[in-house]
Chains A and B, each alone.
Chain A
Amino acid sequence: ETGVTQTPRHLVMGMTNKKSLKCEQHLGHNAMYWYKQSAKKPLELMFVYNFKEQTENNSVPSRFSPECPNSSHLFLHLHTLQPEDSALYLCASSHSGGAPGELFFGEGSRLTVL
C-alpha cells in the first residue's frame, strides 16, 4: 500500500453541498497535516494534528472542519465552500518529534467548487 492515501482524487461540488476528504497513512506516523495548493501560490498549511490533537489551525475559515479520529486517519469536512476554495488539498504525515520538515505527502484531492 502507498504510504499516504487520499480519497477522493477529484471532487466537484456546489457551494451548498457538504462533502468530506479522507486521508489515511500506513507509515506509523503520529502527526498529520492538511495543506492547500492553489495555482501560482505556495503550499499553505491549514491544520496540524499530533496524536489526534489539533496543534495548529492556520486561521482557516470555519467552512473547513478537520477531524482526526486516530493517528492514521484525517478528514477534512467541507460545507458552504466558495469558488476560490477550488484547489489541490494535500494531506501529509510525519513522525511527531522527528526530523524537522520531513513530510510524507499523499497524491492530493483536486477540489472544484462551482
Chain B
Amino acid sequence: KQEVTQIPAALSVPEGENLVLNCSFTDSAIYNLQWFRQDPGKGLTSLLLIQSSQREQTSGRLNASLDKSSGRSTLYIAASQPGDSATYLCAVYGGATNKLIFGTGTLLAVQP
C-alpha cells in the first residue's frame, strides 16, 4: 500500500527565507508526482508535475526534485512571501494500485 508522508507538518518562516518541503513515498513504481497548493477552504492548485523519468521541474520561485529510487521529493521555495502561506500537498500517481495518493500536507506560514 502506497503511503505518502510530508515533513514538516507545519512550518513558520519570516518573509524572504528560502525553504524546503519534503515528501516521501513507499512505492517507487510511480508514473508521476505532483505538488499542489491549497488555500483554506479552497480547492487544489497544481504547482509542479514531475514525470517518473524526470528529476526536477521549475516554475518561477518553485523547484521540485524527484528521486524515485529513494522515494523522495522536495519542493524548494525561494525568497518566500506572505502570499505563499497555504497548505502544500504532494501526491504520487501510479504504483501497484494505479491511484493518486496524497501526502499528509505541510501547513506553511510566511510571516511578514
- Do A and B assemble together? no
Chain A positions near chain B (C-beta within 8 angstroms): none
